[in-house]
Structure 1
Amino acid sequence: NENKVLRNEKRKRLVDLKVKNSIADRFISTSVIFRQFLLLIILVSFSFAKDIKVSAYVDRTKVTTEDIITFTVEVEGTTDFPNVPTPGGADFVVISGPSQSSSIQIINGAMTASKTVKWRLAPTRTGKLEIKPVIFKYRRKTYGTNPIVITVTDKGKTIAPGQRSRPTQDSKQKSVRSKTDSELYLKAVPSKTTVYRGEEIDVSFDLYYKNVKTFSRKKLPDAQGFWMEEFPTTSNPAVATEVINGIVYKKASIQRLAFFQLRQVSLQ
């Protein structure tokens, strides 16, 4: 009788365990389906975003007649990517492309989606050539890239320093004091350009670079006629990307200073 009771108890425990496992499996399955459904909703809502961001850049803007340029168009802001046409014009011929890649990331609940399309182009002559804007329509709106000017010389010839053209920059980029193809830019961005005595001016020093691994701050700027204070800095500043004159750079804000005018002078 005791053995029979023990066998019945074991059977009951096994049945209870199977029921619990079945409930757990159903819960896990429901949870997975819910997460997939939530991700689908996010993707659909993201694909209906009103505006997209379109940019174009090249790997260099000074080449010879035997060099090849990599021309890239990047589209951000949607998962329903539009078709990007091949760049036109008689100044360049397409050697290869388009090659396409896309990525979707969810970081801290925010989704970022991007698509890049690349071509390899060869110049057809010397001189200042232009990669024409790439224009396309997306959801009844017309989008386009900016034209990019490429300086092409004969093979073996270099551009004399006195013949280098000054890069054309908008007001946001006036403080960049380097050549177009420089590996490094340093730009001082003031919060305002006109102040009253005693009023605060915040200046951010942004480093634009291609292949810089480390950096250090050696000397703060001279600011005669101003009281200067430092904002806290970090050894690992946030890095973004920005296109300047058709070249893509990494951008890091490496220093931020506050200036207070003591007497009527200009801050340079």
Structure 2
Amino acid sequence: MAAGAYAQNLELNAYVDRTTIGVNQQFELNVELSGTDANRVPQPDLPDLTAFATFIGSSSSQNIQIVNGRMTVSKTYTHHFIATKVGKFRIPAIVLRYKGRTISSDPIEIEIVKTSGGGPPQAGQNRGRREASNDLSELLFLKATVSKRRVYQNEPVVVSYKIYTAVNVTNYGISQLPNMVGFWSEEFELPQRPRLYTEVVNGRQYRVAEIKKLALFPQGPGEKTVEPLVIECEVQLPRRRRRDLFDSFFDDPFFGRSERRVIRANPVQIEVVAVPLKERPADLSGAVGSFSLRAAVDKSRVKTNEAVTLRVDISGSGNIKILPQPKVNFPADFEVYDPKINESITRKGAAITGNKTFEYVMIPRFAGEQIIKPIRFSYFDLASKSYRTLTTDPIRVSVEKGAQQFSNVGMAASKEDVKFIGKDIRFIQIRMPEFKRVGRVFYKSAIFYALLVLPLFALAGAVGYRRHVERVQADVAYARSRKANQMALKRLKKAQKKLGEGESKAFYAEVSSALMGYIGDKFNVAAAGLITDQVETMLRERGIQAETVSNYIDCLQTCDYKRFAPTEADRDEMKAFFDKARKAIIALEREI
């Protein structure tokens, strides 16, 4: 049976130090027992390898760890062989019988090749030959794994990037992030210092660390490719020396040399299928996952002209950021303000979870029993592979007459402004005519003296303008900051053109470019690398008023949502948002 039968108490693994071996060269076969019962079992018997190798000796090592009062033992038996025959061979599974059960390792494939030297190896010869090689592809690589290869549109795909190493990696850094075109991505929180563990791949033992983990939400159907992640590593190798009696001493990493290596992960293909058209709800927003819906008011009994808050909360697992604003049918007698939207996202474990809250402030104007009709939210449920529609209960609000009550006549009256249609009485001119003082001359007037000093002011202005031009040419940051508002308005003109053409996605993309471009120009940073959270932090650190920051961030978040939303926005909605974005830029310009 499989080794997992006693996975908690005893595990058995077998691996070799390398899978390609030169004939007459030495190699190691390691048998590792781990678990609380590792010290209680005898040494496993080795399979017969005489067809291609000669046994020359064994050694053993033991490691004991006590964590939270629980002892774990790891015992390794190292068997040394010399390869004697060229060809491809299989080391059979190592079998151990324990407590009436059979535990076995996986078989290992090896290849024995010809070498230039035919004599038996001397001490340290094999290691020196391997380390002299510049090819570390079998000793160091980056692997991308995905949770699923076939998903629905907007269904999360968890991509994990792990580094596998059989050499000493002293440092690493990400040099190129994968291109996420066609995906909405959320990055999981990982420990600052990656957790190391061991894994056997193709008969070789590696140290493994997960360095990046993403949840990708595909935005459209079709074949999608997750591009490779590229990292640079500092690899420590033993110093190359002539073979002598001190090889084992100088093989210590302290005397090693460092090399920089660039490794890239494998690209991954993902098939994305569209959600079914059959039985698709009319109010489907494109949400995919598992969600719940709640709605409540902060008080059910109020007086007229007294504010009451409706809180609508959508929570669950999926792409929380693209959840749309629910459609709420408010009573006609309620004055309702735009909602305050809050998001809380948890990026831990193997799923993206969280909630999105919409808070509406309502002011009832008339007394009576008012009812907020049930709120609906539809999504595609991944567990049942079907559509689900969530509905809240009707919400009743009892409104009593307050101290100030609008009259029905006043509300029924026309709101049209009174127009000025003319005058039927013309008044007689009653002002005194203008008189000029006798003997008054121009060269003694204030205007004359003002004209005398005007050239001086003009000269000072020219000097100041010249200095401004020189600074613009020499100081890139100053130039970008001065032209930030002008460049943002130019970008908004492109968005206005897309508005006229009715292209919703392109419109929101241009507005987003104007908003991010303004921040990039104003603070002399690359707009392409900015994210919404970073922009908010930069503005708050510079003492910008909270309301101005909130309006600006709200515009950026609206652009992100509308660009990837499955539905198109209407022209009136885009026009109102265009005015809001322009005012947000102007307000920020006044405060910086």
State the TM-score, normalizing by the size of structure 2. 0.32
Q: 1:223 aligns with which of 180, 183, 196?
A: 180
Q: Aligned equivalents of 1:124 and 1:106: distance in 2? A: 43
The residue number in structure 1 matching 2:116 is 156
Residue aligned with 1:217, SS: strand
Equivalent of 2:28 in 60, 70, 83: 70
Please, which moves more after superposition, 49-58 or 212-221? 49-58
Identity across matched positions, percent: 34
Distance 1:226 1:249 in 2: 32
Deviations 1:6-25 (A, max 9, x none): xxxxxxxxxxxxxxxxxxxx
Larger radius of gyration: 2
**Are residues 1:52 and 2:13 paired?**
no
State the partner residue of 2:57: 96
1:1-268 correspondence to structure 2 within 5 Å? 51-77=9-35, 78=37, 79-89=39-49, 90-97=51-58, 99-156=59-116, 182-211=138-167, 212-268=169-225
Distance 1:50 1:245 in 2: 24
Partners of 2:104 and 2:16 in 1: CA distance: 16
Structure 1 contact 87–131 (Cα < 8 Å) conserved: yes
Shift of 1:108: 2.8
**Residues 180 and 245 of structure 1 are in contact (CA less than 8 Å); yes or no, is this contact kept in structure 2?**
no
Give the conservation status (yes or no) of the 8 Å contact 2:194–2:211: yes
Shift of 1:125: 0.7
Distance 2:69 2:179 in 1: 43
2: distance between equivalents of 1:66 and 1:241?
Answer: 29
What is the rounded CA distance, in whole Å, between the counterparts of 2:11 and 2:62 in structure 1?
Answer: 14
What CA RMSD, in Å, does the superposition of the two structures yield over aligned residues? 2.3
Amino acid across the alignment from 1:74: E
Q: Is the 8 A contact 1:188 1:206 kept in 2?
A: yes
Q: Distance in 1 between matches of 2:107 and 2:147?
A: 30
Question: Cα gap change, 1:240/1:50 in structure 2, threshold over 3 Å: closer, same or farther?
Answer: closer
Report if aligned partners of 2:14, 2:32 keep a CA contact under 8 Å in 1. yes
Distance 1:194 1:137 in 2: 41
Find the aligned partners of 1:245 and 1:138 in 2 and give their Cα distance. 26
For the residue of structure 1 that corresponds to 2:88, the secondary structure is: strand
Which blocks of at least 5 consecutive residues in structure 2 are unaligned? 1-5, 118-134, 226-592
Q: Structure 1, residues 126-152: CA drift from partner, whole Å, max 9, x if none?
A: 011222222231111122222222211
CA contact (8 A) 1:225 1:264 kept: no
Between 1:71-80 and 1:190-199, the stretch displaced more is 190-199
Query: What one-letter code is carried by the residue in structure 2 that aligns with 1:194?
Result: R
Offset, 1:249: 0.4
Following the alignment from structure 1 to structure 2, what is the Cα–Cα distance between the partners of residues 262 and 50?
41
Per-residue deviation, residues 136-186 of structure 1 (Å, max 9, x unmatched): 3111112222222221112229xxxxxxxxxxxxxxxxxxxxx99612221
TM-score, normalised to structure 1's length?
A: 0.68
Corresponding residue of 1:11: none
How far 1:248 moved relative to its partner? Answer: 0.4
CA distance in 2, matches of 1:132, 1:122: 17
Q: Deviations over 1:56-97 (max 9, x none)?
A: 001111111121001100011213132211331322211112
Contact 1:230 1:258 in 2 (8 A): yes
> 2 CA distance for matches of 1:49 and 1:135?
15
| Greater relative CO, 1 or 2 (CA 8 Å, sep 6+) | 1
Tell me how far apart the structure 1 counterparts of residues 7 and 146 of structure 2 sit (CA, whole Å). Answer: 33
Q: CA deviation at 1:123?
A: 1.6
Could you tell me how far apart the structure 1 residues matched to 2:207 and 2:224 are? 27
| Contact 2:24–2:84 (8 Å) recurs in 1 | no
Matched letter for residue 215 of structure 2? A
Asked if 1 retains the 8 angstrom alpha-carbon contact of 2:22 and 2:113, the reply is: yes
User: Quick one: structure 1 residues 49 and 181, their matched pair in 2 at CA, closer, same or farther if it must change by over 3 Å?
Assistant: closer
Distance 2:111 2:22 in 1: 8
Query: Contact (CA 8 Å) 2:153, 2:217: kept in 1 or not?
Result: yes
Counterpart residue type for residue 88 of structure 1: D
- Do the aligned partners of 2:188 and 2:214 also contact (CA within 8 Å) in 1? yes
Distance 2:44 2:144 in 1: 35
Report if aligned partners of 1:229, 1:259 keep a CA contact under 8 Å in 2.
yes
Q: Is the 8 A contact 1:91 1:130 kept in 2?
A: no
Give aligned pairs, total: 199
1:267 alignment partner, SS class: strand
Shift of 1:235: 4.1
**For residues 61 and 247 of structure 1, do their structure 2 counterparts lie closer, same or farther at Cα, with a shift above 3 Å needed?**
same
State the secondary structure of the residue aligned to 2:97.
strand
Identify the range of structure 1 (215-224 vs 252-261) with the bigger mean alpha-carbon deviation: 215-224
Deviates more, 1:243-252 or 1:189-198: 189-198
Contact preservation (8 Å) 1:226, 1:262: yes
